[in-house]
């Protein structure tokens, strides 16, 4: 792969605060034009890692490359960052506020006004432009903060828990915006501890726990490699057919469903064929994919 | 640079547009005027005439005494004989004291009564509040016995002192007269002297009767107040950015040092704007107000202020502001709430207050070695050096040295502050300990 296709490259970076090591020899690559999920429980080191990518703090050792270049303060202008801990100037008008933060990203003031109006319309806050931030609800403030991160049209957008505390309608709204950004060729780093959310939008992920990376790669590949070859079934009639046929190693009975583990080398097709041949009627037949949550739990317990 | 300017601009525009700024700009001079005028008013309230009866058993001293009281209280010694209320009191003199309080003298008609009878009558008059007190000048007072004062309020030091001095003068004049020295010579010899104060500055001689002191005091006070006010403003601004977590977004766009410097400069411009408005207001008052007041019978004299003094005021204000505001900046980044910030800021305010108290000793002896050293100390220099400049301009090298030391201190403080600030602003949860902060300073 060509280096310019890599937006962020961390080479075994390490960061300590006193005795505590927040990030331990972390290496990862964020590919251009994709949504990269930086996942892990609270306190895993996600925010510290992001702060180093944004050049708020520097690593104690290791190196960081952005857009194929060694990190410099000037590159900050090409990054949009929505931190988990975020705020607005309470007494400043929303429009002025957005303009100020765009100016801090070196956007010429001529372009700003039009873009501010477009974005406010997109998140349905046009009529709030002249209001002070303290007059906005928390959800509205969060959308303004989101605009702050993308207003200067950065090539890399870093969103730390962008959806926390939002109602479902606004989550959908912002999710759409994120997907649009991806379509426009932007690279997005999406940090969260909510695995289900990450599963829905990420292309690639990196799982970190206790300051260390435990897993990374494309979401699809990871899921495949963790596939336990299990099938969820709902059968009308007796399920004796499942026993002693050499295809199934384990059957788990839930309230109205069965979860069966296929024997090594057996494909789901073979099982389905067998079921169709027998007398039972099949009302549900679905390959079970492991959730990120399960994978995470598995990897963490494995490591411990 | 564009980012720096954006920060300065935001800081400036947001604050100058705020209601608080407009209010302060208008209110502060009114407040100063209020504190200037109210004491005078209060003195005025107390200042009903003090009626003093004079029992002159010598029969020669009253006229001298009336004259002496008159010259002591700096008013015209015109006997007011139209308002005689009491038959026993023949002549009445009224004199204004500088504080606005008047002394009225009455001569008591002896009518051949004994001193005891007269005193009984006057004691009664004191109790019935017709007079405030009386003075007895015994017949032999010119040779050996002592005059006596009886009064309802013996605490009134001012009246007592005025009477004492006046009686002394009256006695002296009468003695001279008895020594056969002619009246004109006596008048000539006993003509009171008023000390005319002339300041010698680089600009030449300048008449002064108290206004300059007031001006120096006002300059020191405004300096103190503005540094305190705007230092606190920086503290508040920094705590706000930390408390609301804006700092993290800001740091993802600008270097912490640029941000801190931008805030300090932005707020300093707000302060300079306010000072300029006040300065212009003062100038307008000096040019038009004085004439206007004079035409309405309120005499006022505004001492000439050399333009260099205004320049020095600006420079020393900036010196003081940046010294204190920089300290406020890193204190702000160490704490988590405005309350904690207030606690940490206490010692800093004390330092500023101490500097303000140096005003008096320095204005009394502006070329003492004490004055020299405090005006070289950056924490006190803004007020003390300004007082020195306004009272007795020190050699230029001292002013330059003080500014240079100040500049060096500011640079050092800024370096320390920027190292604390960049880390402190992202530390949430609890107030940073001293050992932590020292580690931040050392940390690369």
Q: What is the pTM of this model?
A: 0.74
- Cα gap B216→B362, rounded to integer Å: 11
- Chain B residues whose beta carbon lies within 8 Å of the beta carbon of residue A82: 249
Q: Could you say which of B6, B251, B252 has the minimum Cβ distance to residue A100?
A: B6
What's the domain count of chain A? 2
- Are residues A200 and A77 located together in one domain of the fold? yes
- Are residues A154 and A257 located together in one domain of the fold? no
| Cβ-contact A115, A130 below 8 angstroms | no
| Cβ-contact B328, B238 below 8 angstroms | yes
**CB pair distance less than 8 Å for B14 and A83:** no
**CB pair distance less than 8 Å for A83 and B252:** yes
Helices (H), B88-156: 115-127
Distance of CA B380 to the CA centre of its chain: 18
Using alpha carbons, list the distances in angstroms from residue A286 to A229, A269, A272, A289, B244: 11, 11, 10, 9, 48
Residue A297: inside a domain: no
Chain A to chain B, count of Cβ pairs less than 8 Å apart? 68
Domain of A82: which CATH number? Answer: 3.40.50.300
- Are residues A183 and A73 located together in one domain of the fold? yes
| Cβ-contact B139, B58 below 8 angstroms | yes
- Are residues A191 and A256 located together in one domain of the fold? no
- Cα gap B87→A38, rounded to integer Å: 106
- Cα gap B436→A120, rounded to integer Å: 42
Residue A295: inside a domain: no
- Nearest Cα to B250, choosing from A76, A258, A13, A3? A76
- Cα gap B119→B152, rounded to integer Å: 14
Around A149, how many Cα atoms within 13 Å sit in the side-chain half-sphere? 33
Using alpha carbons, list the distances in angstroms from residue A260 to A242, A256, A268: 9, 13, 10
- Cα gap A158→A144, rounded to integer Å: 15
- Nearest Cα to B7, choosing from A100, A265, A121? A100
**CB pair distance less than 8 Å for B2 and A100:** no
Domain map (residue ranges) of chain B: 49-193, 208-442
- Are residues A198 and A56 located together in one domain of the fold? yes
Where is the domain boundary, A173, A199, A224? A224
- Cα gap A211→A16, rounded to integer Å: 10
Which value, to the nearest 10 degrees, does the dihedral of the CA atoms of residues B105, B109, B113, B117 take? -30
Please give the structure tokens belonging to residue B189.
């010899």
Q: Could you say which of A91, A96, A106 has the minimum Cβ distance to residue B3?
A: A106
Q: Which residue of B has its CA nearest to A82?
A: B249
Using alpha carbons, list the distances in angstroms from residue B238 to A88, B293, B326, B335: 13, 45, 11, 10
Residues 391 through 420 of chain B touching chain A, CB cutoff 8 Å: none
- Chain A residues whose beta carbon lies within 8 Å of the beta carbon of residue B426: 51, 56-57
**CB pair distance less than 8 Å for A86 and B245:** yes
Q: Is B433 on the interface with A (CB under 8 A)?
A: no
- Are residues A93 and A131 located together in one domain of the fold? yes
Where is the domain boundary, A180, A209, A224? A224
- Are residues A266 and A140 located together in one domain of the fold? no
**CB pair distance less than 8 Å for B255 and A89:** no
Residues 221 through 250 of chain B touching chain A, CB cutoff 8 Å: 240, 243-246, 248-250
pLDDT by residue, tens only, chain B of 444 residues: 889 999 999 999 999 988 888 988 888 777 766 765 665 556 555 556 778 888 888 888 888 888 777 766 544 333 433 333 343 444 444 444 444 457 788 888 887 788 888 888 888 888 888 888 888 888 888 887 888 888 877 666 777 777 888 888 888 888 888 887 777 777 777 666 666 666 555 555 555 546 677 777 878 888 888 899 899 999 999 999 988 889 999 999 999 999 999 999 999 999 999 999 988 887 777 777 667 666 766 666 666 677 888 889 999 999 999 999 999 998 999 988 888 888 888 998 999 889 888 888 888 888 888 999 999 999 999 999 988 888 888 899 999 999 999 999 999 999 999 999 988 888 877 788 888 888 888 877
What is the tens place of the pLDDT at every residue in A24-33? 999 999 999 9
- Are residues A193 and A252 located together in one domain of the fold? no
Q: Note the ipTM here.
A: 0.83
**What are the φ/ψ torsions at residue B175 (nearest 5 degrees)?**
-60, -45
Kindly state which CATH superfamily the domain B49-193 is placed in. Periplasmic binding protein-like II (3.40.190.10)
The CB density around residue B188, as the number of other CB atoms within 10 Å, is 10
Q: Indicate the pairing of strand A281-288 with strand A204-209.
A: unpaired
The CB density around residue A240, as the number of other CB atoms within 10 Å, is 11
- Are residues A273 and A200 located together in one domain of the fold? no
Range of the domain at A248: 228-288
| Cβ-contact A22, A55 below 8 angstroms | no
- Are residues A216 and A239 located together in one domain of the fold? no
- Cα gap B302→B290, rounded to integer Å: 8
How many residues make up chain B in this entry? Answer: 444
């Amino acid at each position: 792969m060509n280096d310019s296709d890599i937006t962020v490259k961390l080479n075994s970076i390490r960061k300590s605060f006193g005795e505590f090591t927040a990030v331990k020899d972390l290496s990862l690559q964020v590919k251009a034009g994709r949504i990269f999920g930086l996942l892990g429980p609270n306190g895993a080191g996600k925010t510290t890692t992001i702060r180093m990518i944004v050049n708020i703090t520097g690593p104690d050792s290791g190196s960081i490359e952005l857009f194929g270049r060694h990190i410099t303060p000037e590159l900050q202008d090409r990054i949009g960052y929505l931190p988990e801990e975020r705020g607005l100037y309470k007494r400043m008008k929303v429009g002025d506020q957005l303009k100020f933060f765009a100016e801090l990203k070196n956007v010429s003031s001529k372009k700003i006004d039009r873009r501010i109006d477009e974005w406010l319309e997109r998140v349905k806050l046009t009529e709030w432009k002249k209001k002070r931030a303290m007059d906005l609800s928390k959800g509205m403030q969060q959308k303004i903060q989101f605009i702050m991160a993308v207003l200067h049209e950065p090539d890399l957008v870093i969103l730390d828990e962008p959806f926390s505390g939002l109602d479902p309608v606004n989550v959908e709204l912002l999710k759409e915006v994120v997907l649009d950004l991806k379509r426009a060729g932007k690279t997005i780093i999406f940090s969260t501890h909510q695995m289900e959310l990450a599963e829905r939008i990420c292309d690639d992920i990196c799982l970190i726990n206790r300051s260390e990376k435990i897993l990374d790669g494309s979401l699809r590949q990871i899921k495949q490699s963790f596939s336990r070859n299990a099938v969820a079934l709902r059968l009308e009639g007796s399920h004796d057919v499942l026993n002693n046929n050499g295809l199934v190693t384990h059957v788990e009975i839930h309230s109205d469903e069965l979860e069966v583990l296929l024997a090594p080398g057996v494909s789901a097709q073979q099982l389905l064929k067998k079921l169709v041949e027998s007398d039972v009627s099949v009302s549900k037949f679905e390959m079970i994919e492991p959730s990120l949550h399960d994978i995470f739990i598995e990897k963490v317990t494995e490591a411990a | 640079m564009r980012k720096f300017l954006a920060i300065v601009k935001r800081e400036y525009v947001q604050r100058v547009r705020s209601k608080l700024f407009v209010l302060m700009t208008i209110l502060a001079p009114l407040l100063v005027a209020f504190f200037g005028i109210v004491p005078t008013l209060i003195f005025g309230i107390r200042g009903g005439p003090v009626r003093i009866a004079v029992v002159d058993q010598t029969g020669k001293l009253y006229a001298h005494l009336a004259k002496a009281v008159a010259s002591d209280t700096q008013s015209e010694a015109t006997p007011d004989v139209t308002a005689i209320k009491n038959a026993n009191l023949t002549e009445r003199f009224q004199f204004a004291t500088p504080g606005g309080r008047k002394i009225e003298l009455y001569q008591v008609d002896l009518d051949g009564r004994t001193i005891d009878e007269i005193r009984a009558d006057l004691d009664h008059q004191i109790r019935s509040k017709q007079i405030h007190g009386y003075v007895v000048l015994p017949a032999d007072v010119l040779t050996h016995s002592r005059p006596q004062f009886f009064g309802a309020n013996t605490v009134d030091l001012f009246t007592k002192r005025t009477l004492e001095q006046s009686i002394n003068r009256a006695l002296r004049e009468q003695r001279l007269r008895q020594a056969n020295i002619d009246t004109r010579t006596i008048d000539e010899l006993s003509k009171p002297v008023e000390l005319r104060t002339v300041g010698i500055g680089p600009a030449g001689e300048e008449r002064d009767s108290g206004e300059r002191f007031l001006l120096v005091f006002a300059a020191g006070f405004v300096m103190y107040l503005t540094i305190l006010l705007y230092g606190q403003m920086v503290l508040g601004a920094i705590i706000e950015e930390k408390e609301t977590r804006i700092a993290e977004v800001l740091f993802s766009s600008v270097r912490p040092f640029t941000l801190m410097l931008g805030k300090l400069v932005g707020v300093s411009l707000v302060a300079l704007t306010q000072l300029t408005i006040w300065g212009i207001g003062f100038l307008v008052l000096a040019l038009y107000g004085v004439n206007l007041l004079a035409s309405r019978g309120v005499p006022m004299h505004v001492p000439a202020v050399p333009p260099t003094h205004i320049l020095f005021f600006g420079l020393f204000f900036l010196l003081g502001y940046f010294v204190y505001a920089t300290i406020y900046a890193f204190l702000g980044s160490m704490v988590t709430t405005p309350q904690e910030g207030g606690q940490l800021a206490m010692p800093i305010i004390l330092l500023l207050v101490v500097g303000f108290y140096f005003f008096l000793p320095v204005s009394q002896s502006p070329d003492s070695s004490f004055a020299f050293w405090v005006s070289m100390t950056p924490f006190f220099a803004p007020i003390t050096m300004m007082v020195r400049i306004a009272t007795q301009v020190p050699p230029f090298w001292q002013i330059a040295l003080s500014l240079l030391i100040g500049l060096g201190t500011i640079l050092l403080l800024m370096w320390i502050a920027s190292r604390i600030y960049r880390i402190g602003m992202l530390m949430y949860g609890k107030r940073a300990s001293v050992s932590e902060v020292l580690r931040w300073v050392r940390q690369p």
